């Protein structure tokens, strides 16, 4: 809570919610279950306890060689949505791709391959399952307060925030990881105050709001601000989790401030 008090939020109202109406999500879940895919379940793998998560923040291109070295060390590389194709273009085949978004995200996985395990939430759009039908697909199920679907009764469900990146942390923890190295997890706009992704995509000016952490001001859109807030909740539900956040964005600053206060980080 002490770290949370360092963040000044402009009221977001009720405009920022997980994408997809409940009925749409139910239809997607039913479609996914009917495919008979293997489903995600807790398991132990040989690793050093650290999982590398690669997001799509504007700082991502600054860390290409670091990520390459992470893979050479034998660490599991997890691509979040659009980071998949960027990694592939630079000769880094991600071990895992994670998506919880119920929208069509095919444009981020055009370079699909037979090595990556594509971890799709059952709430994802059926077109994603069709697009990846010849790949290694592992099904898992999303949980949130507004997703009480009878079709998922008795199945393991994974919560953890409104973004695929935050859900990937929870999936990683269930897989036995407790340390997470984050690349491209800025959760804020670039220094120009406009760019929101490494692709150069800009955020609409009307959607930009300031956040202050440790005396520093960061510009964010609504989704970025929500992710930064939800990120801090991870410490309350995952015992012993630690983060090594690359770059100089909002998430990195939150972790730095927690360390200064002697809080788990």
Pairing of strands 216-220, 209-213: antiparallel
3-state helix, strand, coil in the chain (%, to 5): 35, 20, 50
pLDDT recorded at residue 19: 66
pLDDT along the chain (265 residues), means of 10: 44 55 90 91 70 97 98 95 97 97 96 97 97 97 86 92 95 93 98 95 87 95 94 94 97 97 95
pLDDT recorded at residue 3: 43
pTM listed for this prediction: 0.86
pLDDT recorded at residue 46: 64
Q: Cα separation of 163 and 212, whole Å?
A: 21
Torsion on CA atoms 243, 39, 157, 130, rounded to nearest 10: 90
pLDDT recorded at residue 4: 41
């Amino acid at each position: 809570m002490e770290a949370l008090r360092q963040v000044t939020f402009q009221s977001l109202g009720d405009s920022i919610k997980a994408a997809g109406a409940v009925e749409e999500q139910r239809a997607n879940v039913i479609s996914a279950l009917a495919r008979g895919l293997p489903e995600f379940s807790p398991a132990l793998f040989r690793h050093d306890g650290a999982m590398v998560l690669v997001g799509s923040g504007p700082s991502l291109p600054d860390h290409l060689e670091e990520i390459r070295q992470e893979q050479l060390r034998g660490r599991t590389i997890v691509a979040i949505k659009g980071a998949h194709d960027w990694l592939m273009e630079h000769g880094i085949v991600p071990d895992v791709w994670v998506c919880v978004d119920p929208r069509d995200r095919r444009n981020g996985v055009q370079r699909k391959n037979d090595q990556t395990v594509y971890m799709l939430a059952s709430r994802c759009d059926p077109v994603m399952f069709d697009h990846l039908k010849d790949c290694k697909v592992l099904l898992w199920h999303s949980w949130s307060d507004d997703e009480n679907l009878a079709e998922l009764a008795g199945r393991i469900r994974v919560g953890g925030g409104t973004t695929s990146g935050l859900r990937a942390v929870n999936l990683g923890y269930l897989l036995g990881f407790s340390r997470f190295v984050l690349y491209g997890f800025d959760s804020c706009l670039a220094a120009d105050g406009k760019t929101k992704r490494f692709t150069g995509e800009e955020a609409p000016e009307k959607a930009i709001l300031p956040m202050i952490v440790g005396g520093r001001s960061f510009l964010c859109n609504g989704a970025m601000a929500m992710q930064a807030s939800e990120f801090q909740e991870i410490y309350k539900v995952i015992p012993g989790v630690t983060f090594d956040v690359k770059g100089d964005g909002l998430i990195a600053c939150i972790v730095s401030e927690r360390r200064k206060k002697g809080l788990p980080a």
